[in-house]
Amino acid sequence: MPIIAFQGFLGAYSDLACRHAFPGWTTLPCASFEAAMQAVRENRAELAMLPCENSLAGRVPDIHRLLPDSGLHVVGEHFERVEHCLLAPHGTTEATLKRAHSHPMALGQVLNILKELNLEGVIEADTAGAAALIAERGGVEDAAIASSLAAEVYGLKILRHNVEDAEHNTTRFYVMAREPRLPPVDAKHCVTSFVFRVRSIPAALYKALGGFATNGVNLTKLESYMMDGRFTATQFLCDADGHPDEPGMARALEELRFFAELRILGTYVAHPYRIQNESN
């Protein structure tokens, strides 16, 4: 069976994303994002599923820093709706609960249920790891906020489905591979991801991005972050609609190279979630 790597425990949302995007594949849990990338580099996995942003929490830390030097290529994207569940050992009821364990980001997304049931939030390193801990500990006073898959993996009871505060809670993932998988130039709804670094001079960013405006290329993501701990060295992570071999995109990238150091991370067909949201 082909293998896809992810960061986290079995039953994590990244694991769920792998199973939804690549049904029938074997999922490989890894201790860190770097370890998931390493699994692909070492041929222990064909792909890696890496979260890059969330509709509530924004950018996922470290991913933007790891991508450019990973030696891997972005070959796809996946959007996963985050559906938090309240999980506990069998025999537990909502009335017996006193604490809810989960990743701090997840706890921040279920404040309503914590308040309703008067539960103390307990921070853990991972949502699925919290579920594993609760399953091992047992008892009727502790629950986990995690996925329905985590309940299945660790033999827990789902006390409530969809306890997240916001219905639009969605995480976007990059799918990474050892080699690029460039779609045909005439493929519809292509996205190109790249990083670039501009010189620290007045109007450098304005000049670097001018080619996208004049050539009618839509930028859907533009994020900046410091390089090497220096406040004057800024790198940008960008997603643009289009294929690099299309005339407009090719001219825009050529102009960008004149003003900046550019590295293309990959070109891929947009996920249906993106297309649906753009049409709305």
| Domain count for the chain | 3
Looking at the fold, whether 194 and 273 belong to one and the same domain comes out as yes
Looking at the fold, whether 156 and 135 belong to one and the same domain comes out as yes
224 has a pLDDT exceeding 90: no
**In which band, very low, low, confident or very high, does the pLDDT at 231 lie, cut at 50, 70 and 90?**
low
Looking at the fold, whether 76 and 111 belong to one and the same domain comes out as no
Looking at the fold, whether 39 and 143 belong to one and the same domain comes out as no
DSSP sequence for the chain: --EEEEESSTTSHHHHHHHHHSTTPEEEEESSHHHHHHHHHTTS-SEEEEEEEETTTEEPTTHHHHSTTSS-EEEEEEEEE---EEEE-TT--GGG--EEEE-HHHHTT-HHHHHHTTPEEEE-S-HHHHHHHHHHH--SSEEEEE-HHHHHHHT-EEEES---S-TT-EEEEEEEESS--PPPTT-SSEEEEEEEEE-SSTTHHHHHHHHHHHTTPPEEEEEEEEETTEEEEEEEEEEEES-TTSHHHHHHHHHHHHHEEEEEEEEEEPPHHHHHHHH-
278 has a pLDDT exceeding 80: no
Provide the residue range defining the domain that includes 266: 190-279
What pLDDT is stored for residue 2 in this prediction?
97
Looking at the fold, whether 62 and 9 belong to one and the same domain comes out as yes
For 122-164, how does the pLDDT look when each residue is reduced to its tens digit (9 = 90+)?
A: 999 899 999 999 999 999 999 999 999 999 999 999 999 999 9
Q: What percent of the chain has pLDDT over 70?
A: 96
Looking at the fold, whether 64 and 90 belong to one and the same domain comes out as no
For 69-127, how does the pLDDT look when each residue is reduced to its tens digit (9 = 90+)?
A: 899 999 999 999 999 999 999 999 999 999 999 999 899 999 999 999 999 999 998 99
Looking at the fold, whether 46 and 173 belong to one and the same domain comes out as yes
Looking at the fold, whether 90 and 206 belong to one and the same domain comes out as no
Looking at the fold, whether 201 and 229 belong to one and the same domain comes out as yes
**In which band, very low, low, confident or very high, does the pLDDT at 64 lie, cut at 50, 70 and 90?**
confident
Catalytic residue list: 171, 173
Looking at the fold, whether 74 and 93 belong to one and the same domain comes out as no
What pLDDT is stored for residue 33 in this prediction?
95
Q: Domain with 46 in it: what CATH number?
A: 3.40.190.10
For 168-204, how does the pLDDT look when each residue is reduced to its tens digit (9 = 90+)?
A: 889 999 999 999 999 999 999 999 999 998 877 788 8
Q: Provide the mean pLDDT of the chain.
A: 93
Structural domain contains residue 183: no
Looking at the fold, whether 90 and 208 belong to one and the same domain comes out as no
Q: Domain with 261 in it: what CATH number?
A: 3.30.70.260
Q: What's the pTM? A: 0.90
